[in-house]
Amino acid sequence: MTDVKETTKHDSERKRMDAIWWGGVLIWIGLALGAEYLEILPAVGDTGEWWPWIFIGVGPWSLGLNIYRSTSSWPDPSTWDWIWTVVFLAVGFSAVFDFGGEIIGAIALIVIGGVFLIRALSTNR
Protein backbone atom coordinates (compact mmCIF):
# COMPACT_ATOMS: atom_id res chain seq x y z
CA MET A 1 0.00 0.00 0.00
CA THR A 2 1.06 3.53 -0.67
CA ASP A 3 1.80 5.63 2.37
CA VAL A 4 -0.59 8.58 2.70
CA LYS A 5 2.28 10.95 3.58
CA GLU A 6 4.18 9.85 0.47
CA THR A 7 1.15 10.40 -1.77
CA THR A 8 0.51 13.84 -0.26
CA LYS A 9 4.17 14.82 -0.76
CA HIS A 10 4.08 13.57 -4.36
CA ASP A 11 0.88 15.55 -5.08
CA SER A 12 2.36 18.64 -3.44
CA GLU A 13 5.53 18.39 -5.56
CA ARG A 14 3.49 17.90 -8.74
CA LYS A 15 1.36 20.97 -7.94
CA ARG A 16 4.51 22.99 -7.27
CA MET A 17 6.02 21.90 -10.60
CA ASP A 18 2.77 22.81 -12.37
CA ALA A 19 2.92 26.26 -10.77
CA ILE A 20 6.53 26.67 -11.95
CA TRP A 21 5.52 25.65 -15.49
CA TRP A 22 2.55 28.02 -15.62
CA GLY A 23 4.56 30.85 -14.07
CA GLY A 24 7.20 30.54 -16.78
CA VAL A 25 4.59 30.28 -19.53
CA LEU A 26 2.71 33.37 -18.35
CA ILE A 27 5.94 35.38 -18.05
CA TRP A 28 6.93 34.34 -21.59
CA ILE A 29 3.51 35.26 -23.00
CA GLY A 30 3.68 38.61 -21.21
CA LEU A 31 7.13 39.28 -22.70
CA ALA A 32 5.92 38.36 -26.20
CA LEU A 33 2.81 40.52 -25.93
CA GLY A 34 4.80 43.41 -24.47
CA ALA A 35 7.37 43.20 -27.27
CA GLU A 36 4.54 43.11 -29.82
CA TYR A 37 2.94 46.17 -28.25
CA LEU A 38 6.27 48.01 -28.35
CA GLU A 39 6.72 46.86 -31.95
CA ILE A 40 10.13 45.30 -31.23
CA LEU A 41 9.12 41.69 -31.81
CA PRO A 42 10.85 40.32 -34.92
CA ALA A 43 8.80 38.50 -37.53
CA VAL A 44 9.03 34.71 -37.56
CA GLY A 45 8.85 32.80 -40.84
CA ASP A 46 6.23 34.02 -43.29
CA THR A 47 3.95 35.37 -40.63
CA GLY A 48 4.20 38.78 -39.07
CA GLU A 49 2.12 37.64 -36.13
CA TRP A 50 3.14 37.44 -32.46
CA TRP A 51 1.57 34.06 -31.61
CA PRO A 52 4.44 31.85 -32.93
CA TRP A 53 6.64 33.41 -30.26
CA ILE A 54 4.43 31.81 -27.62
CA PHE A 55 5.28 28.33 -28.91
CA ILE A 56 8.93 29.20 -29.56
CA GLY A 57 9.28 29.94 -25.84
CA VAL A 58 6.89 27.44 -24.30
CA GLY A 59 8.29 24.42 -26.19
CA PRO A 60 11.87 24.70 -24.89
CA TRP A 61 10.61 25.72 -21.44
CA SER A 62 8.48 22.56 -21.27
CA LEU A 63 11.32 20.40 -22.61
CA GLY A 64 13.75 21.81 -20.04
CA LEU A 65 11.35 21.21 -17.16
CA ASN A 66 10.55 17.67 -18.35
CA ILE A 67 14.25 16.83 -18.60
CA TYR A 68 14.88 18.35 -15.17
CA ARG A 69 12.01 16.36 -13.68
CA SER A 70 13.30 13.17 -15.32
CA THR A 71 16.77 13.58 -13.81
CA SER A 72 15.91 14.98 -10.38
CA SER A 73 13.96 13.88 -7.32
CA TRP A 74 10.86 15.72 -8.57
CA PRO A 75 7.98 13.54 -9.83
CA ASP A 76 8.62 12.29 -13.35
CA PRO A 77 6.68 14.06 -16.09
CA SER A 78 3.60 12.23 -17.27
CA THR A 79 3.14 11.00 -20.80
CA TRP A 80 0.82 13.94 -21.39
CA ASP A 81 3.54 16.35 -20.24
CA TRP A 82 5.79 14.93 -22.97
CA ILE A 83 3.01 14.99 -25.58
CA TRP A 84 2.25 18.66 -24.94
CA THR A 85 5.97 19.44 -25.06
CA VAL A 86 6.21 17.81 -28.50
CA VAL A 87 3.18 19.76 -29.70
CA PHE A 88 4.60 23.08 -28.45
CA LEU A 89 8.00 22.34 -30.01
CA ALA A 90 6.43 21.24 -33.31
CA VAL A 91 4.35 24.41 -33.65
CA GLY A 92 7.33 26.58 -32.71
CA PHE A 93 9.67 24.82 -35.16
CA SER A 94 7.08 24.97 -37.93
CA ALA A 95 6.86 28.75 -37.50
CA VAL A 96 10.63 29.25 -37.42
CA PHE A 97 11.54 26.90 -40.26
CA ASP A 98 8.32 27.32 -42.24
CA PHE A 99 7.61 23.60 -42.43
CA GLY A 100 4.35 22.32 -43.85
CA GLY A 101 1.80 20.95 -41.42
CA GLU A 102 2.06 17.43 -42.82
CA ILE A 103 5.73 16.93 -41.97
CA ILE A 104 5.33 18.47 -38.52
CA GLY A 105 2.32 16.25 -37.87
CA ALA A 106 4.23 13.17 -38.99
CA ILE A 107 7.25 14.00 -36.83
CA ALA A 108 5.05 14.83 -33.83
CA LEU A 109 3.18 11.52 -34.12
CA ILE A 110 6.43 9.57 -34.37
CA VAL A 111 7.90 11.32 -31.34
CA ILE A 112 4.71 10.96 -29.30
CA GLY A 113 4.53 7.25 -30.19
CA GLY A 114 8.16 6.89 -29.15
CA VAL A 115 7.46 8.57 -25.82
CA PHE A 116 4.57 6.15 -25.20
CA LEU A 117 6.81 3.17 -25.99
CA ILE A 118 9.76 4.36 -23.93
CA ARG A 119 7.60 5.12 -20.91
CA ALA A 120 5.74 1.81 -21.20
CA LEU A 121 8.95 -0.19 -21.51
CA SER A 122 10.85 1.67 -18.79
CA THR A 123 8.15 1.59 -16.11
CA ASN A 124 8.76 -0.94 -13.36
CA ARG A 125 5.67 -2.87 -12.43
What string of pLDDT tens digits covers the 125 residues of the chain? 556 666 777 788 888 888 999 999 999 999 999 999 998 988 876 667 788 899 999 999 999 999 999 888 888 888 889 889 988 988 888 877 776 667 777 877 888 888 778 877 876 65
Q: Which amino acid is at 124?
A: N
CB atoms within 10 A of CB 90: 23
CB atoms within 10 A of CB 112: 18
What is the pTM assigned to this prediction? 0.72
List the beta bridge partners of residue 53.
none
Where are the domains positioned within the chain?
Answer: 4-122
